[in-house]
Amino acid sequence: MTVRRSSLHGSLRAPSSKSYTHRALFCAALARGESTLHSPLICDDTLASAEALSKLGVTTQWEEGNAHVSGLRELRKPSSEIHCGESGTTLRFMTAVCATTPHDAHISGGPSLLRRPVGDLALALQKLGARCSCDHGCPPVHVRGPIKGGSVEIPGNVSSQYVSALLLAAPLAKIRVEVAVGGRLESKSYVGMTLEMQRKFAVHVDAADDLGRLGSEPQEYMPSDVEIEGDWSSAAYLLAATTIAGEKVNVDGLAPETHQADRHMLRIIEKMSGRANVKSGCVTVERSQLKPVEVDVADCPDLFPAVCVLCAVADGISTITGTRRLRIKESDRVLAMSNGLKRMGIETRQSENSFTIRGGTLRDAIIDPNRDHRIAMAFAALGLRTDEATILDAECVRKSYPSFWQDLQCLGADVKAH
């Protein structure tokens, strides 16, 4: 895709939440009977979850903006290898869910997924009574349950998906499961999203206020009808694009009171003297002259590329901390943003856990997003401030936001496919 200098204006609805859709699919799969998900996100990652669950006998029908999931209390033996595409959430959740069954499961995925860690989750499932192994802490994973229960500790600074995966499986254990989080739990809001979705399916987990200790008695998931709210993670790229290259854009469908950590995008824009407000689920942003910022993204890592967009045009030096875990996402996001920004003429400096950007004038560039959806969206936003920026492998946005390019065009962006 080639993006040229243009100004955004108008209104649109945010895509539905990928994280909530994943969690709803798994909770529905574990409930005996049919559940309906209203307004689920249909993207490569959520389709990967539905396809993976189908290998265990769970059926999902997508129709008229809904997903109808026929869940099973007794999951079947996998019909073949379970392939998770490039979805880390699917990999971790499926590993834990398969550990609740007495069947052998082989779980794998695409090239970037095979580099993402799962070792600590495998060890935790072993301690709960399953057989679970992987080479060098990464997929593919071999697992066979069922888990019995007991107490286990999981590190909180690698992936909150480990904790969420254990919580999804815990109600199906024979005895109570206690999960202790070692160290600080990063991306804590995502665990809150898991607990919220479990409550919608009649599962209740005891949780300390800081989510450092969690416990679940044996219990059953019950079928449910749930509404999937809008996705702050994907909307953040529209908000960033408008702030640096827009007139005024309204984004509907974003809940201001939500567990989604990426709602903090509004606070970051405001901290940089940007103009943004939210009223009745509609977020309004306007083009703004931005000042530099110091911001920690440890609890909202998916915002990192979007925050880089703002910092690249701010007048001064910005510092983003909490970046360590970004090196084990779909790409090394710190390196990918550094390389791309340098191609656009922006000075950067990186360390183990921080990233510094000196804002400046953007120049034309050809950007390789390393097949990372959020990197592609970030440089598409920056392209609106150039005469011409070309984003390679632009279709990678299908991982989380399939209509991204069309939505940009609807808001007035000069975007053309090659």
Assess whether 71 and 175 both reside in one domain.
Answer: yes
pLDDT in tens, 166-182: 999 999 999 999 999 99
Assess whether 40 and 28 both reside in one domain.
Answer: yes
Q: Which residue has the tokens 């794998």?
A: 108
Assess whether 244 and 140 both reside in one domain.
Answer: no
Q: Are 67 and 37 within 8 A, CB to CB?
A: yes
Instruction: Respond yes or no: is residue 302 known to be catalytic.
Output: yes
pLDDT in tens, 246-277: 999 999 999 988 999 999 999 999 999 999 99
Domain termination residue (choose one: 227, 244, 272): 227
Q: Which residue has the tokens 């809904």?
A: 66
Block means of pLDDT (10 residues each) for the chain, 418 residues, are 98 97 98 97 98 97 96 92 97 98 97 94 97 95 97 92 97 98 92 98 97 97 98 97 97 94 96 94 95 96 96 98 84 93 98 95 97 97 98 97 98 95
Assess whether 135 and 274 both reside in one domain.
Answer: no
Q: Which domain holds residue 108?
A: 18-227
Assess whether 220 and 239 both reside in one domain.
Answer: no
How far is C-alpha 304 from the chain's CA centre?
12
Q: What is this structure's pTM?
A: 0.96
Catalytic residue among 231, 302, 368, 372: 302
Domain total for the chain? Answer: 2
Domain termination residue (choose one: 193, 227, 261): 227
Assess whether 187 and 116 both reside in one domain.
Answer: yes
Assess whether 253 and 292 both reside in one domain.
Answer: yes
Mean confidence (pLDDT) of the chain: 96
Q: Are 36 and 275 within 8 A, CB to CB?
A: no
Beta sheet of 225-227, edge-to-edge order: 59-63, 66-71, 33-38, 225-227
Q: Alpha carbon of 126 to those of 16, 41, 89: distances in Å?
A: 35, 33, 20
